[in-house]
Amino acid sequence: MRGNLKLRLIIGAAIILFSYVKYCSRTDTNEFTGKKQHISLSTEEEIAIGLQSAPQMAQEYGGLHPDQEAQALVDKVGNKLVNSSVARETPYQYDFHLLRDPKTVNAFALPGGQVFITMGLFKRLENEDQLAGVLGHEIGHVVGRHSAERIAKQDLTRGIITGVMAGSDVGGGRMAAMVGQFINMKYGRNDELESDQLGVKYMIDAGYNPYEFIEVMRILDEASGGQSVPEFQSTHPSGPHRVQEIEAAIKANGYVK
């Protein structure tokens, strides 16, 4: 029994070490943000993943919304943000989609430039500047390569979980899975703060009022009605700290009302 346990520990440690070395060896500096990242995908792969996943994601929210006027506004604001900022220098193909779902309050971006907003969120926005805040934030995720970075992090986490499970009992494997989920969740929150900062800059570059993005936070709080949390908030945590960070980003970019 001891021999089997020792062998399992050696195998588990080897798997974890291999996963960690593989993760650390894939380091790249994002030329558009200056941030060093662990990335396992090329930009071409990011674009391909986004294009392939877009139809399925749209279908999950009831498909594209038939209101062409509303879609035209989403396109107008999204393209203005891209063309007025560093986003236009990236290799990504930006497409903006208004989804039919009237109840779900959400917006998200796929790797490579596919950006989505639900009618449930769109209809709550009060002006074009607020729409720019939402779309600018999602463009920030694309430019920041957050999806590609998260995929690499999840690969590392899976390797760690596999290694722990190989070298321990079922209970240890469950604990490793819980730790892995916590690691990835914390990582996502850092992405949100960076996307807020990038989104604020893109809003200012395009001539929008960045303080309206703070109003979006208020709208999201009101949308919850003190009951269920809007899906956007579950994936894009809000609160006083986030508002303070947005205000700091506005000031750092020299914006004056």
**Which residues are part of the catalytic machinery?**
138
Q: Do the beta carbons of residue 125 and residue 136 sit within 8 Å? A: no
Q: Which two tokens stand for residue 232?
A: 């956007």
Beta strands 95-99 and 114-118, pairing class: parallel
Beta-bridge mates of residue 115: 96, 109
Tell me the C-alpha distance between 207 and 196, whole Å: 16
Alpha helices in 103-169 (DSSP H): 119-122, 128-143, 146-167
Tell me the C-alpha distance between 27 and 46, whole Å: 16
